[in-house]
Amino acid sequence: MKIAILPGDGIGPEIVTQAVKVLNALDEQFEMETAPVGGAGYEASGHPLPEATLKLAQDADAVLFGAVGDWKYDTLDRPLRPEQAILGLRKHLGLFGNLRPAILYPELANASTLKPEIVSGLDILIVRELTGDIYFGQPRGVRECPDGPFKGQREGFDTMRYAEGEIRRIAHVAFQAAQKRGKRLTSVDKANVLETFQFWKDIVTDVHQEYPDVALDHMYVDNAAMQLVRAPKKFDVIVTGNMFGDILSDAAAMLTGSIGMLPSASLDANNKGLYEPSHGSAPDIAGKGIANPLATILSAAMMLRFSLNKVEQADRIEAAVKKVLAQGLRTVDIYEAGTTKVGTEEMGNAVVKALA
């Protein structure tokens, strides 16, 4: 089985190195090949998603991705910016189903910015549609404003749209995920304002007929944002569009104390997937050896579980992560008095040791 390793920018290479080390410490051996992506891709061959990198990802059984982006690329034309690499991979590989679990490990109950009684035991899953919505909708651009009080001025515009089949397939992913968990699904929309999301709500309601064992409710996105910080444990699985999912998943991630802990999976219709930490490239701490590698290590576990069918190995990694947390080892993002502060590499080594 072949894994494409795409470390990317900022802290990406440091954290991916630790995840690869953990994979190499398993009984199974995987063929791994590394390629540049994001700013690193731009430096190497003038494009954030070099053709050879895309081909490697297409030919692999799974992709382990670090993070992309650095302020120094902010002035490049949009098609050359690092973020285009991850957007291009999602689109080219058809990775429409994004699973973002937000789990609060008991050891980190005090790391959350919310009171422990609000968040302890938190275990929610955000299912974000990843290849549609205003992120990819055409037309988009800057043009002359055709009407209204600003007629004749320049205006920026994007297009929000969702095809029926696009909504149906992500709804199926979400209902099936809910069936394997608490059997409750909240579909998040803005049906009170947007045509696209009234349509979304209608289609999700229709798909629900095939999953009578799952309780479905609908929530406007503004209310969902509020409920996430008011009573987050009321949620089980949330399904929503690309942009709302982007925003809500960052909020949900922070409930757990550190976005540095959260993995994610982006899957196509056949469970081929790209796995990446939910956090970004954090250029401010890149190269300092202090980044938390656990989100990437846990992403590697998700990869074993969903794409490579190595459930036992995935369980082993997740157990090892729990063990190092129980041992009191903490990177700086989750450090608190009474625990032991460790760097990126020490944390990776501790997970390898805990596998045994």
Active site residues per annotation: 135, 190, 222, 246, 250
Does 319 appear as a known binding residue? no
CA distances from 147 to 285, 286, 307 (A): 46, 47, 49
170 Cβ contact partners less than 8 Å away, ≥ 6 residues apart: 96, 97, 127, 129, 239
CA angle, 253 then 258 then 260, to 5°: 95
86 binds, among Mn ion, ligand IPM, none (CB under 5 to 8 A by kind): ligand IPM
Closest residue to ligand IPM, based on beta-carbon distance: 83
- Minimum distance of ligand IPM from residue 336's CB (angstroms): 27
Does 284 appear as a known binding residue? yes
Which one-letter amino acid corresponds to residue 35? A
Which one-letter amino acid corresponds to residue 77? D
User: What tokens does 304 get?
Assistant: 């074993």
- Minimum distance of ligand IPM from residue 246's CB (angstroms): 5
Judged by CB, which is closer to ligand IPM: 65, or 211?
A: 65
Judged by CB, which is closer to ligand IPM: 101, or 342?
A: 101
Phi, psi of 94 (to 5 degrees): 65, 35
CA atoms within 13 A on the CB side of 90: 21
Which one-letter amino acid corresponds to residue 27? D
87 binds, among Mn ion, ligand IPM, none (CB under 5 to 8 A by kind): ligand IPM
* Strands annotated E in the chain: 2-8, 31-34, 62-67, 97-103, 123-129, 141-144, 154-157, 184-189, 215-220, 237-240, 263-267, 273-277, 329-330, 340-341
Judged by CB, which is closer to Mn ion: 25, or 87?
A: 87
Alpha helices in 25-147 (DSSP H): 39-45, 51-59, 83-92, 116-119
109 binds, among Mn ion, ligand IPM, none (CB under 5 to 8 A by kind): none
Does 100 appear as a known binding residue? yes
Is there a contact between 252 and 39 (Cβ–Cβ < 8 Å)?
Answer: no
346 binds, among ligand IPM, Mn ion, none (CB under 5 to 8 A by kind): none
- Minimum distance of Mn ion from residue 267's CB (angstroms): 17
Does 317 appear as a known binding residue? no
Q: Where on the chain is the footprint of Mn ion (CB under 5 A)?
A: 246
- Minimum distance of Mn ion from residue 260's CB (angstroms): 14
Q: Where on the chain is the footprint of ligand IPM (CB under 6 A)?
A: 83, 86-87, 246
Does 154 appear as a known binding residue? no
Closest residue to Mn ion, based on beta-carbon distance: 246
* Alpha carbon distance 171, 240 (integer Å): 9
Does 280 appear as a known binding residue? yes
Judged by CB, which is closer to ligand IPM: 93, or 352?
A: 93
Does 9 appear as a known binding residue? no
Q: What is the distance in angstroms between the CA of the first residue and the CA of the last residue of the chain?
A: 23
Is there a contact between 64 and 35 (Cβ–Cβ < 8 Å)?
Answer: no
- Minimum distance of Mn ion from residue 152's CB (angstroms): 35
Judged by CB, which is closer to ligand IPM: 13, or 207?
A: 13
Residues in the annotated binding site:
90, 100, 128, 222, 246, 250, 280-292
Residues in the annotated binding site for Mg(2+):
222, 246, 250
Residues in the annotated binding site for substrate:
90, 100, 128, 222
Residues in the annotated binding site for NAD(+):
280-292
